[in-house]
Amino acid sequence: MTKKRDIIHKRFQIDKSEGSIEVQVDFFLEDGVVKISNIHIHGNFDSGLPSSPTFERVNNIAFLISHYTNIVGKKIMERVVGNKYADEIVEQILKLMDELESSLSDIE
């Protein structure tokens, strides 16, 4: 039997001169740690960001991860680096995770 996880849905918007980017993130709690189950990004201009990235932390550095299949059918995962919007999105996601962890520790 699988245990039902409570999902905490958050969204934020980043406004730039080129247009707006909306980010929706679903968080869940696992063993007292806030984790991400889903990220969806869309904007009204070509930001160069993947629409459904995942999130990865390595040595206290966080990245959005793009997933796609190349022309020979091989699944590819790439860190989104060098995109001027990705760092701001990662920073906001980390802030939301910290806020959620703080609010959960206040409850306990």
Q: Using one digit for the tens of pLDDT, what is the confidence trace for 25-77?
A: 999 988 878 999 999 999 999 999 999 999 999 888 999 999 888 888 888 88
What's the pLDDT score for residue 45? 92
What are the Cα distances from residue 106, in Å, to 5, 13, 34, 98, 102?
20, 27, 14, 12, 6
Give the number of residues written for the chain: 108
Least trusted range by pLDDT, from 40-54, 71-85, 88-102: 71-85
43-46: which pairs have CB atoms within 8 A and are 24 or more residues apart? Answer: 43/19, 44/19, 44/20, 45/18, 45/19
Whole-angstrom Cα Rg for the chain: 15
**What is the C-alpha to C-alpha distance for residues 73 and 76, in angstroms, rounded to an integer?**
9
pLDDT band at 3 (very low <50, low <70, confident <90, very high): low
